[in-house]
Structure 1
Amino acid sequence: MQQTKTPSVAVVIPSYKVTRHILGVLAAIGPEVDRIYVVDDRCPDQSGAYVRAHNTDPRVVVVEHAENQGVGGAVMTGYQAAIADGADIMVKVDGDGQMDPSLIPAFIAPILAGEADYTKGNRFFDLEQIGSMPPMRLFGNAMLSLLTKLSSGYWDLFDPTNGYTAIHRDAARHLPFHKISKRYFFETDMLFRLNTLNAVVHDVPMDAVYGDEVSNLKISKIVTEFMAKHVRNFCKRVFYNYYLRNMSLASIELPLGLLMVVGGSVYGGLHWIDSARAGLPTAAGTVMLSAMPILMGMQLLLAFLAYDIASVPRRPLQNRGRLVRSIIARG
C-alpha cells in the first residue's frame, strides 16, 4: 500500500523594522511548521542579522534583499524559496506580533482538506470584535472590500487588506511573481491573480487586534492609487475570463448594457440641454427614447453582475493537479 506523503508547511515572514517582535513571533510558531523563512527586506535595523545572531530554531532560514522591495516583494521571495525547497503550503505571517501564530492550523486546514488553494484572515466575522477596530480603518476596509469584490471576482470574501494568508504550491507556482504589486496593493492584487487562475479562496475568521498603532491605510490612497489599480484589474479580469478564455451570455450583456446606458444618457442629455436653452419642456417621446435604453441597459448590467457573482471559483487547483498527476502516474 502506497503511503501518502505528509504535506510540508512553511512560514514566510517579511522582516522590516520588526526587531523588537521577531523573536517572539518565531518562538510562537508551532511544530506543524517544517521551515520558516525570514525575509530581510533591506531592513534598516538589520533584522536578518539579528535573527541569525539570536535565533535557536533550526527551522529558520534568513533571506536578505539587496534593495527594499516592499511586503509583496518579500513574500514573493519567500514563496519562491519555499517552493524550491519542496514546501506544499506557505503561510505568510507578519513579524510585528499582530498575527497569532497559533492560528496557523486554522489557515492550513481548508488547504489540507482539499477545499481551498488560498486562505486569508477575516477580522469582520465576529461582530462583537469589530468594535475594537478604529472607525477610519473600518471605513477603509469596507471601501476596499467592495472595490476588491469587483476587481478580483471573489464576491464572497471580505477584509481584503488582511495579510494573514496561506497558499498551496499548485496555486503559488503559477503566480506571475514579477507582476504582482509589491507594496500596499499586494494582498488585493494577489486575489486578482488567483482569480485568473480559477483558484479557490476561503476566509478564515480571526479577531481584530489593534493597539495604539497608526494605520498606514489612508483614504487618499484608496481614492487615487487604489481606485486606478482596481479599475485596471477589473478590466483585465473581464477580458481574460469573458473574452479571451471563455465566451458566454455575460460576454454580450456587459458591452451591450454599457452601450445602451451610455447611449441613452447622451441622447437624453443633449436633448435636455437643447430644451433648456430654448426654454421649452422636453417632449415626452424624447424622455421615453432616453429612459428605455437606460433601463434596459441597467437590466443587462445587473444580469452580468449576477452571472459574475455566481462564477466564483469552486474547484480547487490542487485537486485538478492531483488528478493530472494520478493520470500521468497510471500512464
Structure 2
Amino acid sequence: MKDTLIAVVIPSYKVKNHVLDVISAMGPEVDRIYVVDDACPEGSGDFVEKNCGDPRVTVIKHGVNQGVGAAVMTGYLAAVQDGMDIMVKVDGDGQMDPALISLFISPIIAGEADYTKGNRFFDLENVLAMPALRLFGNAVLSFMTKLSSGYWNLFDPTNGFTAIHAEVVRYLPLKKISKRYFFETDMLFRLNILRAVVVDIPMAAKYGNEVSNLKIKKIVTEFLIKHLVNFVKRIFYNYYLRDMSLASIELPVGVIMMIFGMVFGAYNWVQSISFGLPSTSGTVMLSAMPVIIGIQLILAFLGYDIATVPTRPLHQRKINGSKK
C-alpha cells in the first residue's frame, strides 16, 4: 500500500460544521487531501485554509457553484496531475467514516476492481435503521441504476463514498459526466461503457444532525428520464455499435412482439365491447402469444445482460498491456 499514492477528494458545500472533523479523521494511508469549495456560501474553503494545519490538504475553489459531480471531477483532475494512484471521494458532512478508506482502496490495489462504492444495504440491521422514505427511494433508484448502468450486482447507487484508480479516470469523458446529484449513477453508466469492474463495499449507514441536500421525492422523478437515456445509450453502445450477439436480436424482437400483442389485444377488446361481439379463440391467441413470446425474449436478453457484468479490471488490462 505504501507504493500506492492515495488521495481523498472532499467536495465542500455547506459543510463548514463538519469538514474539519472529516479531515482530522484521515489516516496515514492518505497522501493528499483535496478540499473542493464549490462556491460554498459558508466559505468552507477559506475556513479550512485558516483552521486546518494538515500539510496534506490542498484547497481548490470554484468561482460559481457547479454541483457535487463537478467538484469531484475537479479533485480527480488535480490528483491525477499530482501523480496520485487512487482517489477516494468522501463527503464533508461527516456521514462517511474515513477509517473505512482502507477497505475501499484494497480491492483496487489488489487488482480486483477499478472502482469501489459503499453499500449501506448489506447489513439488515443497518437497513432497518434507515428512514423509510430514504429506504424506498434508494430501492427504486437502485433498480433503475441496474437497468441503465448494467451493473446488476450493485446496490445503493446514490452512495457517495467511492474510490477509483487514476488510470480509469484518464479514460472517462469527464466533461460529459453529470455535474450534480445524478453524478454517482452517471459515473456507473460511464464506467460500464469502459467495461470497468465495480465492487460494492459494505458499510454502516450513519445519520447525524446534518441536513441533506438530496431530496428523494424529487430525484426519483427527475432521474427517470436520465436513466432511460443512459439505458438506450448503453444498449446501443454495447449491443450494436461495439459488438453484436443473440441478445442484440432478442431485445428488439421481444419488444416489438410484446407491443404488437398488447395493441392488437386492446384494439380487439374495444371492438368487442363496442359491438357486443365475443372475441374468437384465434383472436385471443393472436393477442396473447406475441406478448408471451415477447416477454420471454426480453427476459432472455436481461439474463444475458446480467451475465456479462464486467469482471476484468480496466486498469489491470492497461498495466498488463504496457508490460508486453
Q: One fold, TM greater than 0.5?
A: yes
> Does residue 275 in structure 1 map to residue 272 in structure 2?
yes
* 1:182 positional shift: 1.1
Structure 2 matches for 1:292-331, cutoff 5 A?
292-327=289-324
Letter of the 1:61 partner, please give it.
Answer: T
Residue of structure 2 equivalent to 1:12 = 9
Taking the aligned partners of 2:133 and 2:210, their CA distance within structure 1 comes to: 13
| Structure-1 residue corresponding to 2:201 | 204
The residue number in structure 1 matching 2:138 is 141
Are residue 151 (structure 1) and residue 148 (structure 2) matched? yes
Distance in 2, matches of 1:176 and 1:215, equals 28
Report the CA distance between 1:290 and its aligned residue: 0.9
1:12-36 deviations in Å (ceiling 9; x for gaps) = 0001111111111111101101111
Q: Residues 50-129 of structure 1: matches in 2 within 5 Å? A: 50-129=47-126
Q: Which runs of 5+ in 1 are unaligned?
A: none
Residue pair 1:52, 1:62 contacting (<8 A) in 2 also: yes
Which amino acid letter does the alignment assign opposite residue 300 of structure 1? L
Query: CA 1:5–1:162 in structure 2 vs 1: closer, same or farther (change >3 Å)?
Result: closer
For each residue in 1:88-112, what CA deviation from the matched residue of structure 2 results, as whole angstroms up to 9, or x when unmatched? 1000001111110000000000000
SS of alignment partner, residue 300 of structure 1: helix
- CA offsets, 1:234-285, max 9 Å, x none? 0000000000000000000000000100111111111111111111111111
Asked if the contact 1:16/1:43 (under 8 Å) is kept, the reply is yes
Give the conservation status (yes or no) of the 8 Å contact 2:142–2:157. yes
Deviation at 1:64, TM superposition (A): 0.5
Q: Secondary structure at the match of 2:129?
A: coil
**Does the CA contact (< 8 Å) of 1:140 and 1:218 recur in 2?**
no
* Separation in structure 2 between the aligned mates of residue 146 and residue 192 of structure 1, nearest angstrom: 13
Does the residue aligned with 1:173 lie in a helix, a strand or coil? helix
Gaps of 5+ in 2: none
Distance 1:42 1:277 in 2: 63
Partner of 2:254: 257
| Aligned with residue 44 of structure 1, among 20, 41, 58 | 41
Q: State the partner residue of 1:191.
A: 188
Is it true that 1:224 corresponds to 2:231 in the alignment? no
Q: Deviations over 1:112-167 (max 9, x none)?
A: 00000000000011111212210000000011111110010000000000000000
Structure 2 equivalent of residue 33 of structure 1 = 30
Checking the alignment, whether the CA contact within 8 Å between 2:88 and 2:101 is kept in structure 1 is yes
Question: Structure 1 residues 23 and 219 mapped into 2: Cα distance closer, same or farther (>3 Å)?
Answer: closer
In the alignment, structure 1 residue 168 sits paired with structure 2 residue 171:
no
1:174-205 CA deviation, whole Å, 9 max, x = no partner?
Answer: 11111111111111111011000000000001
Query: Is the 1:137–1:217 Cα contact (8 Å) retained in structure 2?
Result: no
**How far apart, CA to CA, are the structure 2 residues paired with 1:86 and 1:324?**
20
- SS of 1:227's equivalent in the other structure is helix
Q: Offset of 1:217 from its aligned partner?
A: 4.0
The CA RMSD measured in Å over matched residues stands at 1.3
Conservation of the 8 A alpha-carbon contact between 1:25 and 1:97? yes
Q: Which runs of 4+ in 1 moved over 2 A?
A: 211-224
2:244 aligned partner? 247
Specify whether residues 215 and 22 from structure 1 end up closer, same or farther in structure 2 by C-alpha distance, changes over 3 A only: closer
Q: Which amino acid aligns with 1:66?
A: G
Corresponding letter in the other structure for 1:266: V
- TM-score normalised by L of structure 2: 0.97
Does the 8 A contact of 2:134 with 2:216 survive in 1?
no
Residue identity opposite 1:116 in structure 2? A
Give the SS at the match of 1:120.
strand
Conserved? CA contact 2:15–2:92, under 8 Å: yes
Aligned length: 324
